[in-house]
Structure 1
C-alpha cells in the first residue's frame, strides 16, 4: 500500500484501485495471448475468475481477522497447483506472478513482524514456482503430498531468510512466522487433494487419478457395461490399469 504523511485514505484507495486495475488488465492481456481458449470458453473464464476472486478474498480475510500474511502464501500455492493441473507451466507461472502482486496488496493489515511487501511477494513466488515445476501430472495419491511438502520446505527457507533480513526480528518470531507460511502451504496441498474431483469437474479436465476410477469394477456404469458391452468394459479396465 502507498503511505504518505498527508495523504487521505480516499486518495490511497484511489491509487491502490488504479494499480489493481492495471495489473488485472495486464493479466487479461496475458490470458488472451497465451490461453485464447479461456476467452472463447466462457465456462472456463468464469471458473478461473471465480477462483482468483475466492483466493484473494481468503487472503484478505486471513489478514483482516487474524493479522497474518500466511494466507497469501497458501492462496498462491492453491492457485499454482490448480493451474498446473489445468494448463501448462508457462501459463501457470505467469498467472501465479500476477496473483502474487495482487496478494501482496490484499495481505494487509497484519501484525508487526509479518512478511509484507517485497519479502511476502518473493515468498509467494517461491511456493508458486516450486509447485509449477514439480507438478506436471498426478499419477499417484502421494504426488500432491510430495509437491506440497517440497513447496512447504522452499517456503519455510525463503520466509526464514527474508524474515532475518528485517532488523530487530527476534529468532523465535522469525521461526514462528516461517512455520506459519510453510504450514499454510502444506495444508492447502492437503485440501486440494480432497477437492480434486471438484477441480476436475470445474475445469473439465481428466487427470490420471480420474482414469484410476475406471479400474473400479464396482461402479454402476461399469457393471452395466459388463452386462451389455463386455468389450467396452474390458477397454475401460485396461485404461484404468494404464493410469
Structure 2
C-alpha cells in the first residue's frame, strides 16, 4: 500500500526519543507521506521544523486548536500568517470548536475559530478542522464564510451520520481515524462509512492518540503511531465492502490532491 496519514501529532513529546524509528516503521507499513498537525503556536513551529527536516516525507499544518484558544491573539495570528506562507505548510489548522472538554471558554473558542477562518479566507489554504460536540455553532460559523474558503476537511470524524452528511453536502472532506475500531464509541461509524464518496474520504492516525483497539498484538505502551494507518485502512475497506487496495488507492489520491502533495 501507498498511504498518506493526513493527521499525525509527531511533535508530541512521546516521539522525542524515537522519531526516526517511528518514521521507519511507518514507511515499512506503506505510509510514505504524512502531514504533521500544528495545534498551537509552538506546535505549529515544531511541525514546520519536522517537515523541513524530512522533505518529501513530512508536511505540516499551522493552526491553534480550540484547547489553546487563548493563544489566538493579534500576535498569534501574525505568526500563523507567516507560518502558512511557508511551502512546507499545506493546510491551515488544526482549528475549530471543542465543547466536549471545554478546556477553553466557548466564547474564546468561537473567537479564535473566526479569526483563523478570516486568515484562511486570505490564504485560501486547505483547512484542517476540529469539531467535537459543537456541531451547531461550528456549522453556523462556517456558514458566515461560505464561498470564501479553500477546500475543507473535518479531521478525526467521530460524529453522527447526519453530521457527516452535513459536511458532505458542503463538499467538505472527512478524515477517519482508529475511532472506527473502538467497539465502545465508534461502532456507529461502521454503519455509514461506506456511504462517504471516495473523493471526499481520507485517513489518519491522530498519533499518538487513538490507538486502534483492534490492533493485535496490542502494544504495551498504548501509543498510537503512523504505522497503524494500514490497520485502519483494512478495517475501513471491510466496512466499505471493497478491496483494501482500492480503499488505499482512493484515500491516497484524495489526500494528495487535497493537500497538493508531491
TM-score (norm 1): 0.25
The structure in which a higher percent of residues are strand is: 2
Larger radius of gyration: 1
RCO comparison, higher one (Cα < 8 Å, 6+): 2
User: TM-score when scaled to structure 2?
Assistant: 0.24
Higher helix fraction (1 or 2): 1
